[in-house]
Amino acid sequence: MGVKERRAREKEQLQQQILSAARELFVNEGYENVSMRKIANKIEYSPTTIYLYFKDKADLLDSVCKETLLNLLNTLERLKRDNTDPIETLRKSGKAYVEFGLEYPQDYKLTFVIRPQFQKGLGLQEGSVGEKVFNYLREMVSECIQQQIFHQADVETTGQVLWSAVHGVTLLLIDFPDFPWTEKDKLIDTVIETTIAGLKA
């Protein structure tokens, strides 16, 4: 009776194959410039096959995003495990957050900019990966406040200020690649340092 299991395995493999092809194309060519036919070509199936595995193109991007956000969450939580100093963890987390956005700009923009526009409140609703990421930020900030590193005691506001800073610099770097930015790493570091310094003051 292993037939059903094998079939299920094969389906899952193809689903993953579609997902991988879509990710690669989305990242390299941009969501709008990737057609279902292009994805189908890449995996050597007919375009309609994709619809047996994903509701539509947006669902496909949704799935790609969820995967990458899980990666981000993993990266962040690994950081927390390896570090004991909360302020240092916060620093590294901020950097990792921005770098994630720059590595997967399409995913980042869909999740944090495009999708909320059409599906209001769906980006950070309960149980979503996005919410888990913000919860991670809450925990870190909370530790910093407990150790009296930050002057202000409001976890929520402090977290939101930090998030604004990293979100802002991430999107600016993504959206205006030709602007004469300060060297990328220096800018990111300065944004994070400035915000932390401001919270300490």
Residue 140 within binding range of its own copies, rule CB under 8 A: no
Pattern of binders to DNA over 29-58, x per CB under 7 A?
-----xxxxx------xxxxx-xx---xxx
And the tokens for 160?
């939101």
Tell me the per-residue interface mask from 144 to 163 with its own copies, x by CB under 8 A, - otherwise: --------x-x-xx--xx-x
Q: Is 125 in the site for its own copies (CB under 8 A)?
A: yes
How far apart CA 184 and CA 181 sit, in angstroms, is 7
What's the closest the beta carbon of residue 58 comes to DNA, in angstroms? 6
Sequence-ordered list of residues with C-beta below 8 angstroms from that of 101, at least 6 positions apart, any chain: 108, 170, 171, 173, 174
| DSSP secondary structure code for residue 44 in this structure | T
Cα torsion 56, 58, 64, 70: sign:
negative
Cα(41)–Cα(21) distance, integer angstroms: 10
> Shortest approach of DNA to residue 36 CB, angstroms?
4
Q: Which listed option, DNA, its own copies, none, makes contact with residue 198 (CB within 5 to 8 Å by class)?
A: its own copies
d(CA 136, CA 114): 23
User: Which residue do the tokens 């193809």 mark?
Assistant: 14
Where do contacts with DNA occur on this chain (CB under 7 A)?
1, 3-4, 6-7, 10-11, 14, 34-38, 45-49, 51-52, 56-58
Where do contacts with its own copies occur on this chain (CB under 8 A)?
30, 32, 109, 112-113, 116-118, 120-121, 123-125, 152, 154, 156-157, 160-161, 163-169, 171-172, 175-182, 186-187, 190-191, 193-201
